[in-house]
Amino acid sequence: MMRPAMAAALLLVITSAPAWGAKEVVPPSADAAAVAASGGAFGVDLYGKLAAGEGNVLFSPLSLHSALTMTWAGAGGRTADEMAKVLRLTMPKDRVGRAYGAVIHTLAEGGEAGEGEEKKPYALYLASALWKQKGLKTGEAFMQSLRSNYLASVFETDFAKPEAARATINDWVGGFTEHKIKDLVPAGVLLPRTRVLLANAIYFKSNWESPFSKGQTHDGPFHVAADKTVTVPMMSNAEHRGYLETADFQAVELRYANRAQSMVIFLPKKVDGLAAFEKSLTADALAGWLKKLKSADVDLKLPRFQAATAMRLTPALQALGIKDAFSQTADFTGIAQAAEGLFLSDVVHSTMISVDEYGTAAAAASAVSLEAKDGEAPQSVTVDHPFFFVIRDGASGAVLFMGRVVNPKAVTE
């Protein structure tokens, strides 16, 4: 049984096809299963990079993987090879595209969220789109794959007016995520030399199969560290659930009302055990743990929570091995025959999740922007450590001020 004193840091996974007690489902084709597994493996790899920082980590492997796979569909040479390796793609592009189409078709069978017998108690939307610079000639095979396999909409815009283009794209994302993701593309991502942007949006909302009673929710401790505790609303119920216990952690599965999706929580037995758990986390290990879930009576206490993140993922993707795509040698000739060529300029991702007594609402969106190779790629400068400065007069060359900043918050009296 789960004990309140062990409500420490946890890892959660939202997955499809629960490992135990699920309704009968049609098994996916081998290719569709393979591309879905590739997305999950990529997600575990990326989690390893993001978890090296501090605080909550939250993202959608499906949204990111599909947006990047659409981009890979138009890549060639070393650019395509690096992307395929990081995205865990081993099949030819045409097979990957058809497989993704099968995955999207399966997910698109979700219904509307709402009350009453005429509406299913869940919603699952997945949408993709491409915006291209007006007049830009795009590759026919690439565009056909986007439309037929990824069910992507194609729009034209004028990136010479980046703020107007940004507003249009963010409005589209908001519309497909019930306005949970309002500002996917932040200011500064789009520039006049942007030529193409690919986006993916996903929205999921479902009631629990076994809702928690609000009357059983009480404030309780959550141990954010071995020596630090915060008070949170702790939901409680006792139900028959999927369960796994090892020497190091407990895992419990919470099924959603449609029984096609579930949330699986991995709780280290030590309050400060999440870091050690993360070191053991691999794609194969996660798949193995999910398969080992068995039906059991579980007395579950779970915090009611909300979380949201917004990330620019270029450094993390480069650390995983996607490097050529971000360089002046990138090959995206399959996407467009821009005279100056294209390179990957930015990858942004936003996610939110809300978990309460009734169920879960979650949304995510990803955007991949490509710019023209207009001379050298812009350099990145982040002033996040001590620096020296001068203030000078450009006409005379006179230096008006000089100094250094070691701590921007320090004030000298």
Q: At what angle do helices 30-50 and 93-107 cross, to 10 degrees?
A: 90
Does 163 map to a domain? yes
Residue 165 lies in a domain: yes
Buried-state track 222-235, b at ≥16 Cβ within 10 A, e below 16? bbeeeeeeeebbbb
Separation of alpha carbons 377 and 380, rounded Å: 9
Strand partners of residue 296: 241
Query: Between the CA of residue 127 and those of 23, 98, 190, 382, what are the distances in Å?
Result: 26, 16, 21, 34
Q: Centre a 10 Å sphere on the Cβ of residue 33 and count the other Cβ atoms it contains.
A: 14
Q: What one-letter code names the amino acid at 277?
A: F
Structure token digits, residue 222: 């959550």
Q: Look up tokens 């990330």; give the residue.
A: 311
Q: Which domain holds residue 343?
A: 1-380
Contacts of residue 196, Cβ cutoff 8 Å, sequence gap at least 6: 130, 131, 132, 133, 136, 138, 335, 336, 342, 369, 370
Tens digit of each residue's pLDDT, the chain (413 residues): 333 232 345 566 666 544 455 444 556 788 988 998 899 899 989 988 988 887 888 888 889 999 999 999 999 999 999 999 999 999 999 999 999 998 888 877 654 444 443 445 678 888 999 999 999 999 999 999 999 999 999 999 999 999 999 999 999 999 989 899 989 999 989 999 999 999 999 988 889 899 999 999 999 888 877 788 888 888 888 888 888 889 998 888 888 887 778 888 888 888 888 888 889 888 899 889 888 988 888 888 888 888 888 999 999 999 999 999 999 999 999 998 755 689 999 999 998 888 899 998 889 899 999 998 865 444 433 334 554 443 434 444 444 444 554 455 444 33
Domain count of the chain?
A: 1
Domain for residue 362, yes or no?
Answer: yes
Contact in structure between 326 and 314 (CB atoms under 8 Å): yes
Q: Is residue 110 part of a domain?
A: yes
Q: pTM here?
A: 0.85
Q: What is the CATH number of the domain that holds 174?
A: 3.30.497.10
* Token representation of residue 261: 């999706």
For residue 109, what are the contacts with CB-CB under 8 A and spacing of at least 6? none
Range list of β-strands (E), 65-167? 122-133, 153-157
Domain membership flag for residue 398: no
Q: Does residue 142 fall inside a structural domain?
A: yes
323 belongs to a structural domain: yes
Domain assignment present for 413: no
